[in-house]
Chains A and B, each alone.
Chain A
Amino acid sequence: MGSTPPRPAGGERAPRLRRVLGAAAFPALFLGLVVGMTELPEFGDPASPASTHLSPRFIEEGAAETGAANMVTAVLADYRGYDTLGEAAVIFAAGLGCLVILASGGARRDLPVAGMSNRFGSIVLDAATRTLVPVVLLFAVYVLIHGHYSPGGGFQGGVLFGSGLIMMRLVWGPADASPRPGSDVPTFGLSLRGSLVLASVGILAYVGIGLAAMAFGGEFLNYGTLPLGSDPAHVRELATLGIEAAVFLTVGGTVSLLFDTISIGMRENGVPLGSERGPRE
């Protein structure tokens, strides 16, 4: 594509034989996988091991035990709550890692922050974003709250919430740029610090609900003992909603944190957006 730059010394390709062998390894992997898969149970077989162990319990007892008609939510936030805590922690750690990678060492904090150089502001985008963003953010909360009865929950809602925030960043500039003085552009925007706080509060709330269950005499994340009512299924339903809300905060905060650190990091590290780079690699 385009002009061919002089190839730098040492950039020659690997020997032909090695390339051919390397490329042949992956069709072979595909064939091996397909041969192995012939041993799997038939697609859609109701009597397969995956469908006869553990899952009948989730399907037949789940709604009565946890109060969630959506069995995925019941498994996610109640039966496998400990696993989901780990997942949320992984997501939070990825956000923190990105922040540490991009904010340490070479990042030049003294550069003037002059708005995202590559924001896509125009009158059409501005008007569309003003209309869309509140709807997206509200829908995110709906997806979170309705996760007990329909597809949805903390992860999906959190990602929607984060993408609503990202849509504003793309049109109005980065989180660290203050709203232009005198403009009436509404900013639902979250600062980088705000995203970090949101994600941390989510994780802490998750652990807090688990510890509260312990304090009232149950096991960690076994919500049945929480003093939220007399019907155990209803207590679990409320605690599960709390867990989903905690996941929502963690995921929403982390998604926005990742976008902010990467966009600010690219500017501060002098990495151009788009095709300023010339040589095709």
Chain B
Amino acid sequence: MTTYAFAAALFALGIGGMALLPNLLRKLLAMNVMQVAVIVFFVSLAFKDGATVPILGEGGTPQAADFMNPLPHTLMLTAIVVAVSSTGLALGLLVRIRSRFETLNERRLLDRLR
């Protein structure tokens, strides 16, 4: 439960940062915090008491109770890399915004767009 609450706290922090921070770069960092929250949540769902990492050791037929759930790990593995590339794409957009409007501040941007 503590882990779930930690994920919830990170998620609220990330969403809050995206909504409240004025600078677009900080909004992007807050979005990353939110993505990490989702990853923590999924990985903690995979945890099983008394189980080990989902890599088969020597000998014996594997029992489901002995290994953690590999599916959330797989999903988050890809999610991490997708988060990295979406951050890269967002940084590209920020470079263009900064070059065209000379600012990354949300309110000043809105003024210039008017």
Contacts and interface: CB of A to CB of B under 8 A. Distances in A.
A43 B3 contact: yes
Interface in A22-73: 22-23, 25-27, 29-30, 33-34, 37-38, 40, 42-46, 48, 50-51, 54-56, 58-60, 62-63, 69-72
Contacts of A259: 88
A150 B55 contact: yes
Contacts of A58: 70-71
Interface string B7-29: 01101110110011011000000
B81 A33 contact: no
B88 A54 contact: no
A76, A95, A255, A270: most-surrounded residue (chain B CB, <10 A): A76
Nearest to A259: B88
A153 B78 CA distance: 11
Interface of A: 8-13, 22-23, 25-27, 29-30, 33-34, 37-38, 40, 42-46, 48, 50-51, 54-56, 58-60, 62-63, 69-72, 74-76, 80, 83-84, 87, 90-91, 94-95, 97-98, 101-102, 106, 149-151, 153, 155-156, 158-159, 251, 254-255, 258-259, 261-262, 265-266, 269-271, 281
Given A23-B20, A72-B74, A75-B74, A95 B54 contact: no
Nearest to A162: B84
B15, B69, B100: most-surrounded residue (chain A CB, <10 A): B69
Chain B facing A: main interface SS: helix
Interface string B36-73: 00000000111111110111110001111111011111
Chain A facing B: main interface SS: helix
A71 B55 contact: yes
Contacts, number: 202
A224 B19 CA distance: 49
Contact of B89 (A37, A38, A40, A94): A94
Contact of A46 (B16, B48, B104): B48
Contacts of A91: 81-82, 85
B48 A34 contact: no
A87 B56 contact: no
Contact of A71 (B45, B67, B85, B91): B67
